[in-house]
Amino acid sequence: MATKKRSDLPEATPAFVFRGTVKKVRAATMKEVPVSDRTAVVRVEQVIEAPQSFAHYEGQDITVGLAGKKKVKAGEELVFHADSWIFGDSIAVQAVVQEPVTKAHSALLKRGGDPTEHRKARQLQEHLDDADLVVSGSVAAVTVPPAPATRARAMAALPPTPVSEHDAKWRQAVIDVDETYKGRHTSKQVTVLFPASMDVRWYKAPKFQAGQKGLFILHKTKLKTDDHHELRGLAKRVGAEVEVFTALHPTDVHPLKQRSVIRAMIR
Amino acid sequence: MAKKTSAKTAPTGSAKRKTAGSKTSRKAATTVLVVNMMPRALSGESHQDSEPTLAVNPANPLQIAGSAFTPDPGGGNLAPIFTSVDGGNTWTLKSIVPSSAADGSATSDITVAFSTKSNRLYAGIIRVPFPPNRPRLNILRTNDFQSAVAMKVLVDRTGRGVDQPYVQAATVASGASIGKDRVYVGDNDFNATPRSATIDQSLDAGKTTPSFKSVRIESRTTAGQDGPPIRPAIHPDGTVYAIFHSWRTFDNSGEGTADIVVVRDDSGGSGTTKFRSLLDAGDGKAGVRVVKDVKFNFDGFLGLQRTGGDVNIAVDPSTSSNVYIAYNDDVGPDYMLHVLRSTDRGVTWSTDLRTIRNALNPALAINTAGRVGLLYQQLMGSGPTARWVTQFESSDNGTTWNPITLATVPANSPPKTFDPYLGDYDHMMSVGKDFYGVFCANNTPNKSNFPKGVTYQRNANFTSHTLLDVDNVTPVDVSIDPFFFKVTG
């Protein structure tokens, strides 16, 4: 299995998985692609898993930056696991892995369905696997985190909190728990910290509202309490790190009708 | 009928007009090129691609990079930049900027700049993820902006947080340091509060592992910190200027007052005392307070765009004595844009050369003929008929300005997805006599929205004013896109 690493970033599951036939090596579908021995024009025979921006390329030629050093030949059929590279009149993707089609792929190739839904399901599964607490319930209240009892003294002891357009504007949602699907929580209520900010950094995070019902995928997060004055009331002492539940990802909140789906995915 | 383009390089009506105060008529006809930068393969996208910057490679102006809040369409660990290799006529989107798939495959701020002769592209970004309220600065470099390899991380800093990095770069043209890239990143470094205005500089950014030094350019007591925009401007003779929003007061309502401060370093930050070449005649401290106690509201809005105090600066490439600045303040209910000039290296300043009501995102550039260009976005009208008008003006003397309307689009459509709606800045620069810039706007394919013409790469029907998906049939929602422009000098 040939692999290619483009950076020192943490590995992410490649976005675009497809079966393709190599049409021409050392070629590209766009003039903007720097052609080399490691670029090829590949016909996408079957999209297996993809974001929306790749989903419609079945039956079309695209450019692939080949992984590793192993030679490929025109006519060869391979399964590609690839990430974005260049979008122009056509697209070029950078293969992280390319492998010959074998019997091991038969289940993957026969499963059918919508490739974008497959990707969403895989991402949700990874997200659930990573969660610390999954509950259903309703939001009893949304408040600004409480100030510490010795707020005035605490504030004086800390440097002023810098003001930035990227401020999270923390709020806390108190959830009355109906059912726990994953993790342990002894109380019938759980408090979740979320950013109310609509800044580019935070706008995708769920914005809780009182009365809201749903399934909540929660994550334990350590926050330094001098990050924001709104957090200082959550700490036992000024400057401490506090562990709280957060819901920062767009898929951290689901409607109750997803209950059976979520329950089945918990492992 | 799908029509992708209404492209024109349109002569401006004022091109041959003799400018008051100018001794010569401008002989060459000015042409204007406006291009929607979204590639055809992304015809189906409807993201809010706001807050653009642009970098033209001075060594090869056919090579241009652009940035915006555009996420990687594949949802990977690298965020994209826009690239052109034909002078901005066509664009691709290329994912080479460190990011995080789990955090949206984008950045929370990004600016780009080529050095003048080395072909290296630098970027200043707020990289995700970052701990709450502690924006994470990355300074990046690629030696080949067409490469598939991710940009190299030169600086990675969090601490108490660093905001709004704004990168500029130049290659030293003569002397002992000839050929070295000097990179200056203006940023609001909360690690240095209460004097947070900072220039992170490297005097040899092209070497394998360059060192960067944080130069604190605020010399006065602040209201806890400075404002986010710190903008450097580099002259080929080694002079570097910077402008920033020096906060005097600030209260919990978001309102405050600031001084507009300009600092200068005559040796590009290579001496022992950095950015202290310009002393204020009033208090003797480094940095001239060009205007004092201007009002701002950090929680303010003009239409759907947040405000809070814009600044920009440009230095004349033919003489580092000539400097133009622009800034915003709150004047009654208006968000007022001001333009001023110094002809003595920032020591003294003119009164307002231009004041423009309810205009923001000022960007200045001066070409090799000494002509100054001003880019801004003005909210015209109110209510449902309000429009964002993106205007380019130029002047030989700072008195008479030739306006060119680049875009006039509905101000309330599309609805806002996040802040900032258009961007906390846009960008413009000059190479030779030409002005190159970028702005963000509603992308409805309507010729009347672009009086000087426009080219779309993405599928669009200019008759029905409809964006179309990659199948050239399915309608796509209107969104905010980056638009490149070039005005020939």
Q: Residue B332 maps to which CATH number?
A: 2.120.10.10
User: Is residue B220 scored above 60 in pLDDT?
Assistant: yes
A2-116 and A131-265 share one fold: yes
Give the start-to-end residue ranges of the domains of chain A.
2-116, 131-265
pLDDT at A158: 53
Out of A65, A91, A164, the one facing B135 most closely (by C-beta) is A164
Percent of chain B at pLDDT > 70 equals 94
Please tell me the distance from the alpha carbon of residue B240 to that of residue B159, in angstroms, as a whole number: 27
Order of strands across the sheet with B255-265? B230-234, B240-250, B255-265, B288-297
Name the 3-class secondary structure at A109.
Answer: helix
Termini Cα distance of chain B: 36
pLDDT band at B102 (very low <50, low <70, confident <90, very high): confident
User: Is residue B11 scored above 70 in pLDDT?
Assistant: no
pLDDT at A157: 52
Only one residue has tokens 């009654």, namely: B332
Out of B75, B133, B308, the one facing A51 most closely (by C-beta) is B75
Cβ distance A175 to A140 under 8 Å?
Answer: yes
For the segment B188-197, what is each residue's pLDDT rounded down to a tens digit? 999 999 999 9
Out of B94, B146, B417, the one facing A203 most closely (by C-beta) is B417
Kindly list the residues from chain B whose CB atom is less than 8 angstroms away from the CB atom of residue A201: 108, 126, 128, 130, 135
Predicted interface score ipTM higher than 0.85:
yes
Bridge partner list, A137: A177, A214
User: Is residue B423 scored above 60 in pLDDT?
Assistant: yes
User: Is residue B20 scored above 50 in pLDDT?
Assistant: no
- Kindly identify which residue of chain B lies nearest to residue A4, measuring between CA atoms: B149
pLDDT at B82: 98
CB-based contact B77 A163, cutoff 8 Å:
no
Please tell me the distance from the alpha carbon of residue A40 to that of residue A63, in angstroms, as a whole number: 6
Kindly list the residues from chain A whose CB atom is less than 8 angstroms away from the CB atom of residue B149: 6-7
For B373-411, b where at least 16 C-beta lie within 10 A, e where not — what string? bbbbbbbbeeeeebbbbbbbbbbbebebbbebbbbbbbb
pLDDT at A227: 66
What would the mean pLDDT of B405-434 be, rounded to a whole number? 98
Please tell me the distance from the alpha carbon of residue B51 to that of residue B53, in angstroms, as a whole number: 7
Strand (E) positions, B239-322? 240-250, 255-265, 288-297, 301-302, 305-306, 311-315
CA A94 to chain B, closest CA, distance in angstroms equals: 8
pLDDT at B17: 35
pLDDT at A243: 81
Please tell me the distance from the alpha carbon of residue A205 to that of residue A182, in angstroms, as a whole number: 21
CATH assignment of A131-265, among 2.40.50, 3.40.50, 2.70.98, 3.30.70: 2.40.50
Minimal CA–CA distance to B329: which of B337, B321, B339? B337
Name the 3-class secondary structure at B449.
Answer: helix
Q: Kindly state the tokens that stand for B243.
A: 């402008």
More confident residue, B131 or B273: B273
Out of B77, B80, B126, the one facing A9 most closely (by C-beta) is B77
Cα A202–chain centre separation: 14
CA B434 to chain A, closest CA, distance in angstroms equals: 24
pLDDT at B22: 39
Cα B239–chain centre separation: 20
Contact residues for A27 (Cβ-Cβ < 8 A; gap 6+): A35, A39, A40, A41, A63
User: Is residue B111 scored above 70 in pLDDT?
Assistant: yes
User: Is residue B476 scored above 60 in pLDDT?
Assistant: yes
pLDDT band at B29 (very low <50, low <70, confident <90, very high): confident
For the segment A164-180, what is each residue's pLDDT rounded down to a tens digit? 999 999 999 999 999 99
What would the mean pLDDT of B340-345 be, rounded to a whole number? 98
User: Is residue B266 scored above 80 in pLDDT?
Assistant: yes
* DSSP, res B425: -
- Kindly identify which residue of chain B lies nearest to residue A229, measuring between CA atoms: B133
Residue A165 burial by CB count (10 A; 0-12/13-18/19+): exposed, middle or buried?
Answer: buried
pLDDT at B25: 44
Please tell me the distance from the alpha carbon of residue B116 to that of residue B123, in angstroms, as a whole number: 14
CB-based contact B78 A86, cutoff 8 Å:
no
What would the mean pLDDT of B183-189 be, rounded to a whole number? 98
pLDDT at A87: 97
Q: Kindly state the tokens that stand for A5.
A: 């690493």
Minimal CA–CA distance to A53: which of A82, A12, A22, A24? A82
Taking only residues 208 to 237 of chain A, the set having a beta carbon closer than 8 angstroms to any beta carbon of chain B reads 223-224, 227-228, 231
More confident residue, B134 or B303: B303
Cα B196–chain centre separation: 21
**Total tally of structural domains belonging to chain B:** 1
pLDDT at A4: 52
Give me the total of CB pairs closer than 8 Å, taking one residue from chain A and one from chain B. 173
Please tell me the distance from the alpha carbon of residue B197 to that of residue B175, in angstroms, as a whole number: 30
Cβ distance B148 to A6 under 8 Å?
Answer: yes
Average pLDDT for runs of 10 along chain A of length 267: 52 86 97 94 97 94 95 96 95 95 90 93 93 97 76 52 89 96 92 95 96 97 73 66 88 96 93
Minimal CA–CA distance to B469: which of B31, B40, B54? B40
Q: Does A145 touch chain B (CB under 8 A)?
A: no
Task: Please tell me the pTM assigned to this model.
Answer: 0.93
Q: Which domain holds residue B477?
A: 5-487
Contact residues for A2 (Cβ-Cβ < 8 A; gap 6+): A66, A67, A68, A69, A70, A95, A97, A98, A99
pLDDT at A13: 78
What is the per-residue DSSP string for B249-264?
EE-TTSEEEEEEEEEE
* DSSP, res A129: H
Which value, to the nearest 10 degrees, does the dihedral of the CA atoms of residues A141, A145, A146, A148 take? 160
Average pLDDT of chain B? 93
pLDDT at B24: 43
pLDDT at B14: 38
pLDDT at B27: 53
Q: Does the domain at residues A2-116 carry the CATH identifier 2.40.50.120? A: yes
CB-based contact B76 A165, cutoff 8 Å:
no
